[in-house]
Amino acid sequence: MAGVRHVWVRLAFVPVELPGLVLHWRSTDHGWEGLVAYVDREGRTVTDWLAATALRPVPLEQKGGAPAP
């Protein structure tokens, strides 16, 4: 897994997905994790390692951009 990408963050006990940005990936004994920056429901910026299973890619059409050539 590589690259920076926009994602939806799904946290336990949070009823909504939060927008986030994956800054880096790493492989662990438990699978892939992303270093993700996101804004929590209180408006605080959080940067944390999250399991890839807690992340959902934002489709390109939702970001309003076009792929780079």
pLDDT at position 61 is 66
Residue 28 backbone phi and psi in degrees, to 5: -125, 175
Average pLDDT over residues 22-36: 96
Q: Calculate ∠ Cα 45-59-34, nearest 5°.
A: 45
Q: With pLDDT > 70 as the criterion, what percentage of the chain qualifies? A: 81
- pLDDT tens by residue, 30-68: 999 999 999 998 999 999 999 999 999 998 765 555 444
Nearest to 48 by CA among 15, 13, 18: 18
Q: Calculate ∠ Cα 64-41-44, nearest 5°.
A: 90
pLDDT at position 69 is 42
Domain ranges of the chain: 6-57
pLDDT at position 64 is 55
Residue 49 backbone phi and psi in degrees, to 5: -80, 125
